[in-house]
Structure 1
Amino acid sequence: MVLPLMKLGTLAVKTISKPLASQLKHQAKVHPKFRQFIINFAQRNHRITTQMQRRIYGHATDVEIRPLDEEKAVQAAVDLIGELFIFAVGGGVVVFEVQRSARSEARKEEARKQEVEVHRNSF
């Protein structure tokens, strides 16, 4: 009974995180300082990924990389932020599930040890 409720709760947390990520994206677009930060982040990310792609495909890496258009940079950054937020929520749920399962197994193991001890003492 507890397991289906936990799974349902996990699904609810993931579902709720999507609108929160959307709101985070909206705020990132309109807040001036945060907007500038994400533009710089997106430009750096663009340069790094372009250089990595050039190295992988064997192209020249000393070529100047043109910066992204400001709106494209904002869109790329807010998409990344939204995905990272959803990923972080999902990862947190997985960690919670693993810890809960480990505690449950530890309780079962302790009960088995006590049962064995009771059987030993009865002989």
Structure 2
Amino acid sequence: MILPVFKLGTLALKTLCKPIGNRIKKQAGFHPKFRQSIINIAQANHRFTTNLQRRIYGHATDVVIRPLNEEKAVQAAADLLGELFVFTVAGVAVIFEVQRSSRSEARKEEMRRQELEVLKQRDEELAIEIEHLKNKLVEMERLNKERGFGSVFNFRHPKGNDIETKDA
């Protein structure tokens, strides 16, 4: 019962994080201190990606990289923050699901181990019981040899008192 509710909650959270990410993008440029912080983040990201692209394509990396203008930097940083929020929520949901699944598997494995232990104990008890039955069978065979063949079928040996004879 909890699994479908959890899956539905995760889906709802993923669905809600897209509008929240868009809201972050819109609000990113309005607060002055926050705006300057995201501009700095965007400029650092721009320098990093430009240097990385230059290395990949084999171009010189010691050239001066022109910074983005303020509006492009705000837009790039807002996009980065929005996507970072969406991926963070999705990543946390995946990590939580994996942990939940591993706990569930651990519980199942523990139950299997306990069942196996019960079966082993039952097997040992049955082996002991079989050994007891073998001992009884050996004892019965020994007694049969001592008593003779007639005792196998539990025949009574007639005695003088048991048989009544009538003289007619």
- Using structure 1 for the length normalisation, give the TM-score: 0.90
Counterpart mapping for 1:33-52 below 5 A: 33-52=33-52
Q: CA offset at residue 2 of structure 1?
A: 4.6
3-state SS in 2 of match to 1:30: coil
Alignment partners' CA distance in 2, 1:7 and 1:49: 36
3-state SS in 2 of match to 1:99: helix
Q: CA offset at residue 3 of structure 1?
A: 4.1
> Which residue of structure 2 lines up, in the alignment, with residue 88 of structure 1?
88
Supply the AA of the counterpart residue of 1:41.
I
More displaced stretch, 56-65 vs 36-45 = 56-65
More displaced stretch, 92-101 vs 47-56 = 47-56
Q: CA offset at residue 38 of structure 1?
A: 0.5
Supply the AA of the counterpart residue of 1:71.
E
1:53 equivalent to 2:43? Answer no
> Which residue of structure 2 lines up, in the alignment, with residue 102 of structure 1?
102
Alignment partners' CA distance in 2, 1:59 and 1:33: 36
Structure showing greater radius of gyration is: 2
Higher helix share: 1
Alignment partners' CA distance in 1, 2:51 and 2:113: 58
1:62 equivalent to 2:62? Answer yes
Structure 2 unpaired stretches of 5+: 126-168
Q: Percent identity?
A: 68
Q: CA offset at residue 59 of structure 1?
A: 2.1
Alignment partners' CA distance in 1, 2:110 and 2:69: 61
Spell out, residue by residue over 1:41-80, the C-alpha distance to the aligned partner (whole angstroms, 9 max, x if none): 1111111211221222222223221111110000000000
Between 1 and 2, higher relative CO (CA 8 Å, sep ≥ 6) is seen in: 1
> Which residue of structure 2 lines up, in the alignment, with residue 27 of structure 1?
27
Alignment partners' CA distance in 2, 1:62 and 1:115: 67
- Using structure 2 for the length normalisation, give the TM-score: 0.67
Supply the AA of the counterpart residue of 2:13.
V
Alignment partners' CA distance in 2, 1:107 and 1:92: 23
Number of aligned residues: 123
> Which residue of structure 2 lines up, in the alignment, with residue 73 of structure 1?
73
